Structure 1
Amino acid sequence: MSIEVDPTAEISPLADIEPSRRGTRVVVGPDSVIDSFVKIKPAGGMGDVLIGARTVINAGCVIYSGNGVSIGNDVAVAANCVFASVNHEYHDKSRLIREQGFLPSRGGIVVEDDVWLGAGVILLDGAVVRKGAVVAAGSLVRGEVPSYGVAAGDPLTVKTWRQ
């Protein structure tokens, strides 16, 4: 795995970027901040983790590389968010779940530019958060949040729009 960190980015010495055995990449763009106790872990796929410019990922967030995670420019990720871009296979009850591998990709996770994810947001494989959107604290994102939408809950619904 290669870890490519722009020289202007700040990564806390208490962050943990785990090396990949599969050759996936972690790229952190210019002026981005990875706070204390952020964990980036390669798991269950060949996806890269790409973090754009001027993005802040706050304490306690976990990013599983899985089928890929792309976080754009100028994104604010509040504390304790989870990016889970892979799903375990579980259908065969005659086999242990851990022996069944993973389900096919739903496209990884994409977070476009100028997005705010509130504290404790969970994004699953196939989640797409479009430009300028806001996702309220504690929400679960499984599908698409439209550009400039302000979404909340589980099930996630658009409550209002940025003006």
Structure 2
Amino acid sequence: MIIIHDTARISPLSDIEDSVRGTRISIGAGSIIDSFVKIKPAGGMGDIEIGKDCVINSGCVLYTGNGIIIGNRVAIAANCTLAPTNHEFRDPHRPIREQGFRPSKGGIQIHDDVWIGANCVLLDGAILEKGCVIGAGSIVRGRIPEYAIYAGNPITRIGSRGHSDLLP
């Protein structure tokens, strides 16, 4: 089921697939889904909830997997992937595609007022607390504290909003 608020703006060049298994995709008031964004029910039964006044820029891919919750006023830059699921791969005698998926690590949670830079990858179990910033090209798979600024691969804390010794 796809629920889009009347004031959300969805590019006709985006691709939001409806689920055949009952996954719910909800897009809040004033949110913008740019061209070439792909939202795909895959890898689990989780829902995607996008809050109010969010922007998901061109080229992003969101899989439902174990679920994605995005708060209000979140900005996700171009070409990010949100993948709250992991393939099982332990049995070397069976093809990976036949092994299903690993147990959930809780999906992806993005709290209010978060900025995610271009080309980031968020994995199952990522929790981005209120007001944090993720630098371009980062891979996130754990908890990022409120108002912290993290970047790189491996991801490293480089400061916090309002105070940063490491930023120019």
User: Which TM-score applies when normalising by structure 2?
Assistant: 0.96
Q: Report deviation, 1:44.
A: 1.2
Give matches, 1:56-95, under 5 Å. Answer: 56-95=55-94
Aligned to 2:112: 113
Aligned to 1:160: 159
Aligned to 2:36: 37
Q: Distance in 2 between matches of 1:70 and 1:61?
A: 15
Q: Report deviation, 1:21.
A: 1.3
Q: Which runs of 5 or more structure 1 residues have no equivalent in the other structure?
A: none
Q: Which runs of 5 or more structure 2 residues have no equivalent in the other structure?
A: 163-168
Q: Distance in 2 between matches of 1:70 and 1:90?
A: 27
* Partner deviation per Cα, 1:95-142 (whole Å, 9 max, x = no partner): 000000000000000000000000001000000000000000000001
Alignment length (residue pairs): 162
User: Which TM-score applies when normalising by structure 1?
Assistant: 0.98
Q: 1:78 is aligned with what amino acid?
A: A
Q: Distance in 2 between matches of 1:105 and 1:68?
A: 9
Aligned to 1:23: 22
Q: Distance in 2 between matches of 1:116 and 1:19?
A: 27
Moved over 4 A (4+): none
Q: Report deviation, 1:71.
A: 0.7
SS in structure 2 of the partner of residue 53 of structure 1 = coil
Aligned to 1:55: 54
Q: 1:50 is aligned with what amino acid?
A: E
Q: Report deviation, 1:155.
A: 1.4
Q: Distance in 1 between matches of 2:19 and 2:158?
A: 39
Q: Report deviation, 1:153.
A: 1.1
Q: Distance in 2 between matches of 1:91 and 1:151?
A: 31
Q: RMSD between aligned alpha carbons? A: 0.5
